[in-house]
Amino acid sequence: MSLALQVSGVRASFGDLEILKGVDIDVPFGEVHVLMGPNGSGKSTLCHVLMGKDEYDASGSALVGGTEVMGLPVDERARAGLFEAFQYPVEVPGVSLNDLLREMGEVRQDPGFDSRVESAAETLDMERFRERAVNGGLSGGEKKRSEMFQMAVAGPKVAILDEIDSGLDIDAVREVAHLVEELRSDDLGVLIITHYSRILRYMNPDKIHVMVEGEVVRTGGPEMASELEASGYVDIAGNEATVPKPAVTPFDI
């Protein structure tokens, strides 16, 4: 099975605080995996480290389609096929979505780029937003739809979706879940980071990974979502006595 993302022994510290303690996660092409865990467990830190945020002292290996990205600058990680959808997409005044797409096309120099833009715009009903500023005046659900559109156009090997259900009402959560399923591809591996299992009711993840105190403590199938819903993170982490103390960092939100 070919791996889109292979994370091996990734550690990260912020000053004297150790946050990630040797994380191992494999995401094959064609699969959607979910990383769950309590607040402060290190989920967002893992996302930041994989994307190249330099506030951390990080080590370990992260292969994107077989290419090592640890140590690369952010733009080279993107060129290697790594994409992030943000928890809170920012508005970019003065830059239209079409402007962004043109810049993306120039960087990619992909002869099939324009046709992919048109196909994705039709599939995701984004045509009416293309002349507007990026995320300008959009609802939370529309911003997440725009990011799914950008992902479809970029054609990454790995998409990290950081809390894509954050701040959305139930209809928007359902819509985003359906978009993720619609964009499944044999050429793409998806890692969704979330606190809650509600988005999983509307999709079919292949694997769920549970992170506690900077470590992946358990990996299983989609049935783990129901188990988490019933018992929370205490029992599933194999610690019935106390809830693990979170590793808190200013960037782990």
d(CA 73, CA 55): 13
- Residue 180: phi and psi, rounded to 5, are -60, -45
> pLDDT, tens digit, for every residue of 206-251?
999 999 999 999 999 998 888 887 877 776 655 433 333 444 444 4
List of domains in the chain: 3-94+156-236 (3.40.50.300)
> pLDDT, tens digit, for every residue of 95-106?
999 999 998 888
> pLDDT, tens digit, for every residue of 14-45?
999 999 999 999 999 999 999 999 888 999 99
pTM above 0.75, yes or no: yes
Q: Choose from 108-122, 190-204, 205-219 the range with maximum mean pLDDT.
A: 205-219
Strand order in the sheet with 82-85: 82-85, 158-162, 189-194, 32-36, 207-212, 215-220
